[in-house]
Amino acid sequence: MVSRRGFLTGFAVASVALTAGCTRSGSSAPATAGGSRPLPIPPLAPSTVGTDGVRRFSLRAQAGKTEILAGKSTPTWGFNGSILGPTLRAKRGETVAFTVHNALPEATTVHWHGMHVPASCDGGPHQTIQPGGTWQPSWTVDQPAATLWYHPHPHGATEKHVYRGLAGIFLIDDESSALDLPEDYGVDDIPLIIQDRRLTPDGALDESDPSDIGLLGKTILTNGIAGAHLPVRTERVRLRILNGSSGRIYRLAFSDSREFQMIASDGGLLIAPIPLRTIQISPGERVEIVVSLRGGDPVTLRSLPIEQRAGISKAAAFGFDDTFDILSLEPDQKLKPAAPLPASLAAIPALVAPGTPATRTFDLRWHMINNQRMDMNRIDMTIPVDTTEVWSVRNSDNWPHNFHVHDVQFQITSIDGQAPPPELAGWKDTVYTTPGPTYLLAMRFAGHTDPTYPYMFHCHLLLHEDQGMMGQFLVLAPGQQPAPMQMDMPGMEGHGAHGS
Ligand code: C2O
Ligand code: CU
Ligand code: CU
């Protein structure tokens, strides 16, 4: 599924920065003249496929220390390492199984963001893994090739767990790998997790003073370290970008404003590559872009001030005025030539006819959705399986919010009655909602039913989610009655997970 050269190169790069064990300190990667370190590439997670054909992975959430800043040791959390986690990779049609062990001092969960998955395997706030405990979800991957991700989702503590370092990429492959796209992992196909952090003078993560959109920092991390550069060996590079920040929104562009091609959104490839010079990405969203480089001609990926700010008060406090250098791309003198991008990428059949009205409405304001905060014991709606719905979502606040739905990838059918711009016309699981406009989202709840375990919908600004800007829905088979578990019943919390 990935060439041997790709794997070895990715692993070799990663092994520089993600040394075995749980620490990077004392083994700092070679720095270039400017003191910059090469971008760490998360290693591909090893997996085994048994005679049953099931692909098995194991993840261990653990504490460690990371050299986020060169020469400084920061206490962090990670999966199978000190920060972030290995890149999981599976093919459409494969059954995957995980053994997730919690070696942290507190309960956590692991959610597969963007995955169509049975609710009991979703890793939301009901699938708690106690310290020392193990959770073993399994499901069959059935969705198009995409860059998904995984992260903790413990009720009320998601921001803290992600901020401390728990997050990783989950790649799905399908027959589209026959397309001539850069796909040599760690060589010309680069996962890029962008996060902002605040560090205390002694190098610890500063978790104090969240703004109204959460913990904002001015130290930008790429794949877990600050000040990285990407050595480039090919004329064309694919960046699979994840905004893994708590609350910061980025508007990405290159330092010379060069054009790049966007090829995928949250849930997979777009219909065709679209040429852009900037792209905005809010927490939880992914974009895949392909950028062309010239030998010996470095260029920097930057974040520019946010332009979409009508209706936002105190934009500066939300980081909307900030400019950052994210990652410097440093090409060799001679680059390996790359084929032109395919003219078309994927078929995306419309889920509903144009103009299909909404069946449900969601009002986003302060820390509430439809004037309510999350209650683990309240099911906000039940949805019959194998139905397609249109959700109408509106930010009626003066804060930034976005909207994420578990289990599905949706299509934005309109924004205030207009067709979405091409960058929002593909599969999405998270959409930025600027104050005012109404976003219509079409989604299909296929296959999985569960009368007990709900899926979540929420704002993906992690402080807002923790503050209760979230709700729950059950997907039910015909005739099935909801039987939600009661979280306050003794012994029920973490049902579906067990201690070791
Ligand atoms: Cu990425 Cu419910 O979350
Ligand atoms: Cu999710
Ligand atoms: Cu919000």
Asked whether residue 13 carries a pLDDT value surpassing 50, the answer given is no
Q: Find the CATH number of the domain harbouring 456.
A: 2.60.40.420
Same-domain check for residues 324 and 387: no
Same-domain check for residues 305 and 418: no
Q: Residue 111 Cα, ligand 1 centroid: separation in angstroms?
A: 7
- Domain range for 365: 360-476
Q: Residue 212 Cα, ligand 3 centroid: separation in angstroms?
A: 9
State whether the beta carbon of 286 lies less than 6 angstroms from ligand 1.
Answer: no
The pLDDT of residue 209 is 86
State whether the beta carbon of 155 lies less than 6 angstroms from ligand 1.
Answer: no
Residue 488 confidence class, pLDDT cut points 50, 70, 90: low
pLDDT for 231-254, tens place per residue? 999 999 999 999 999 999 999 999
Total domains in the fold of the chain? 3
Q: Residue 406 Cα, ligand 2 centroid: separation in angstroms?
A: 5
Same-domain check for residues 302 and 199: yes
Alpha carbon distance 7, 4 (integer Å):
5
Is-contact 177 226, C-beta < 8 A? Answer: no
State whether the beta carbon of 400 lies less than 6 angstroms from ligand 1.
Answer: no
Looking at the CA of 267, name the nearest ligand.
2
**End of a domain among 321, 336, 351?**
336
State whether the beta carbon of 123 lies less than 6 angstroms from ligand 1.
Answer: no
Alpha carbon distance 374, 264 (integer Å):
32
Asked whether residue 24 carries a pLDDT value surpassing 60, the answer given is no
Q: Residue 317 Cα, ligand 1 centroid: separation in angstroms?
A: 24
Same-domain check for residues 110 and 135: yes
State whether the beta carbon of 111 lies less than 6 angstroms from ligand 1.
Answer: yes
Same-domain check for residues 126 and 214: no
Same-domain check for residues 324 and 373: no
Which ligand 1 atom sits nearest the alpha carbon of residue 151? 1
State whether the beta carbon of 464 lies less than 6 angstroms from ligand 1.
Answer: no
Range of lowest pLDDT (15-19, 151-155, 260-264, 479-483) = 15-19
Same-domain check for residues 21 and 170: yes
Alpha carbon distance 169, 112 (integer Å):
9
Same-domain check for residues 138 and 212: no
Asked whether residue 57 carries a pLDDT value surpassing 60, the answer given is yes
Q: State the average pLDDT over residues 304-328.
A: 95
State whether the beta carbon of 126 lies less than 6 angstroms from ligand 1.
Answer: no
Q: State the average pLDDT over residues 81-96.
A: 98
Which ligand 1 atom sits nearest the alpha carbon of residue 113? 1
Nearest CA residue ID for atom 1, ligand 1: 113
Backbone angles phi, psi at 181, to 5 degrees: -115, 155
